[in-house]
Structure 1
Amino acid sequence: MEVPYPNSSLLYVSLRPYNHSGGEETVYEQCKDMPAAIIWYLGLQFINMFLGIPTNLTVLWLIHKNKGDSSTSDIFILHLAILDVLFCLTPPLELANIVFITTSSTWYVLRFFYGMKDSSPLFLSCICLDRYMAVVHPITFTELKDRQHRAVLAMLVWLFILGYAAAKCVGNIPNFEKVFTAMILAAFAFMVYCNIAILWVLRQSGPGRDEMHPVKKRAFKMVLIIQAIIVFNYFPPVALFPFQDYFSADVFRCYIHYVAFGLMDFSSTIQPMLYLSKEKMPRSLNCCLTSTTHNLQV
C-alpha cells in the first residue's frame, strides 16, 4: 500500500517521518541529494537506543531501590523513563522504513511512538509543578505530600499521551500539528514561569547564596535542568516549523524536518544522563549490593 504525498502546507510536525512516496522510492532515495540530515537523525536515534535504554533503566532501578527515600517528583521521573525506554526501541524499525521500505503499514506503528514522544514534556511539566509547589507554596505542598494525587495525575497524563498518539497514528487529521505546537509552547511557558518563580523565592532566602536552603537549591537545579532540556530539545521544532514557507519543499522535508526532530528525540538520552549526573552514584552498579544507598532527593 502506497502512502499519498501530503499537502505541502501540512506541517511535518504532525506526522514526523512520513513515507510520502508516490512510487517505489524510499524516503532516503527521495532525499538522496541531501542525505546528511537523515544520516545525522538516524545516528542520533541509534545513540538513543544504545545509551538511552541503559540510562533510563538505571533511573528506573535507582528509583525502585530507593523508593523508601525518594523525592516526591520521582513518580513523574519514573513514568518519563518508561516512556523513553519504549521510544528508544524504535530505531531499527525507523531505519527500515526510511531506507528500505516503501509501504505504509509500519509507519502507523512509528507514528504512535512519535506521538508518545511528542507528549513527554507533559511529565516534565509535572516535575516542574511539583518543585514549584515545594518551593513557592511549602505549606500546601506539605499538606499534599502523599503520593496518591501524583499517581492520579500521572495516569491522566498517560491517558492524554495515548489518546494523542492514537490520533497521530491515524494521521491526516486537519490542523493536527497545532495540537503539538500548542502543547510544546504551553509546556515551555509553564516551565519558564516555574523557573522564574523558584528563582525569585530562592533570592528571598537570604542575601548570600550560601544561606539558601539546600532543598530549595536542589529544587532549583532540577527545574533549571528541565528548562535546559525544553530549550535545547523541544524548542527547535516550534521555532522552525512555523517558518516552513521560507524553505523550499525539499530542504524542509529532507533537512529542517530531521534536524529539528533529531534534537527533540535526543532528549531520551539527555534527560536520564542529567538526572544520573546529579545523583550520588556508587562506583559499581551492582544490583546485589543491598547496602548501597543513593540520595535521590531532588
Structure 2
Amino acid sequence: MNNATEEEPQPVYAALFGCIMALGLPLNAVSLWILLRHHSLKSPNTVFMVNLAISDLLLIISLPMRVYFYATGNWPFSSTVCNSIQRLFYANIRSSSIFITFISVDRLLAVVYPLRSRHLRTTTNAWKGAGFTWLILLVISSSVMVTLSGQPHNHTCFVPLHSGPETSVGAYFQPVLVSTMLAVNVVCTAMVLWTLRSHLSDSAKVKNKLNVMLIFVLNLLIFTVCFLPVTFTRVTGLYRLPLTCLATLNCCLDPLLYYFSFDAFWKKKDVEPS
C-alpha cells in the first residue's frame, strides 16, 4: 500500500486544469468524430489532424489526476501512475509539435509546390510519418519509465525533483526538438506568405487564403505560447507549474486548426481543399 503525502492544495491550478479538461475533451472528441466521419482519411492533411486529436485526447485523460492532486494536495497513487501521467504530458508536446509541423509542411507543399509535391503528399507517406512518430515517442517514453522505475518513490507527484537548472543531455532533448520544429514552421509560414502575396498566378487556385494564413499563425502561436516556454524549464530552472498549465492549453487550441483547414468543416468533403 502506498503512503500518501499531503502537499499544500492549489485550488487555482485545480480549477484551471479542470476548465482545460472540460473544454478540451468535447472539442477534441467532436473534432475527431467529424474528421473520421465527414472527411476522407485519404487526405494526408486529415491523417495528421486525426493523430493530433488522438494525442490531445491522451493528454486530456490524464488531467483528472492533476485536478485531484492540486485540489486536495494528496497523491495516494503509485509513482508508476505519476510517471505515466508525466510521460503523457511530455509525449503530447513532442507529438503535437511534430504533427503540427507535418500539417505546416503539407500546406506548404500544397500551396507553393502543388504539382511537384503530388508524389510526396500521399496518404501512405502520411501514415508512415505518423507511425514512425508514435514509435519513436513510445521508445523514448518507455526508456524513461524504465529509468524512473529504479528510483526511490518519494510519495508525491508533479513536484520537480530539482530546484535549479538541469545539465543532463535528456533535459536538452525537448527544447532542441521544439525549437527545430518551430524553425520549420517559421520557414513554412514565410514561404507560403511570400507565395500568396507575390505569385498570384500560382496561388490563384488557393481558396480561402485567409484561412490558410490563419493556420500558420495559429501554429506559431501554439509553439511560442504553449510549447516553447515549458520546454526550457528544466534547463533554466524556471517555476514549472504555470508554464505546464499554459502548455496544456494547446489541446483547446488545436481544434481551431481543423476548422480553418477545411471549407465547411461540419459538412462532408470528399476532396481536400487546396
SS at match of 2:44: coil
Verify: 1:112 aligned to 2:106, yes or no: no
- Helix, strand or coil: the match of 1:293? coil
1:110–1:266 Cα change, 3 Å: same
Which residue does 1:288 correspond to in 2?
A: none
**Conserved? CA contact 1:135–1:198, under 8 Å:** yes
Whether the 8 Å CA contact 1:111–1:165 is kept in 2: the answer is no
Letter in 2 for 1:83: S
- Which residue matches 1:67? 39
Unaligned runs of 5+ in 1: 3-22, 245-251, 283-291
Residue-by-residue CA offset, 1:130-162 (whole Å, 9 max, x unaligned): 111112222222233431111101101111221
Relative to 1, partners in 2 of residues 1:155 and 1:274: Cα closer, same or farther, differing over 3 Å? closer
Q: CA deviation at 1:84?
A: 0.7
- Letter of the structure 2 residue corresponding to residue 227 of structure 1: L
Aligned to 2:199: 205
Match of 2:185 in 1: 191
> 1:258 maps to which residue?
241
SS of residue in 2 equivalent to 1:261: helix
Q: Is the 8 A contact 2:40 2:46 kept in 1?
A: no
Tell me the residue number matched to 2:213.
220
Q: Which string of whole-angstrom CA distances, capped at 9 and with x for unpartnered residues, describes residues 87-108 of structure 1? A: 1011222234452116523212
1:37-186 aligned at under 5 Å gives the runs 39-68=11-40, 71-98=43-70, 99-101=73-75, 104-119=79-94, 120-169=96-145, 170-171=147-148, 174-186=168-180
Match of 1:19 in 2: none
In 2, distance between residues paired with 1:240 and 1:188? 17
**Residues 51-75 of structure 1, C-alpha deviation per residue, up to 9 Å, x if partnerless?**
1111111111111122349753110
Alpha-carbon distance, 1:181 to partner: 1.0
Distance 1:235 1:212, change over 3 A: farther
Aligned-CA RMSD value: 3.1
- Letter in structure 1 aligned against 2:249: F
Q: Which residue of 2 aligns with 1:267?
A: 250
TM-score (norm. length: structure 1): 0.72
Distance in 1 between the 2:89 and 2:118 partners? 37
Question: Which amino acid counterpart does residue 258 of structure 1 have in structure 2?
Answer: L
What letter corresponds to residue 132 of structure 1 in structure 2?
Answer: L
| Counterpart in the other structure of 2:158 | none
Gaps of 5+ in 2: 152-166
Q: Distance in 2 between matches of 1:240 and 1:101?
A: 23
3-state SS of paired residue (2:122): coil
Q: Is the 8 A contact 2:186 2:220 kept in 1?
A: yes
1:186 CA displacement: 0.9
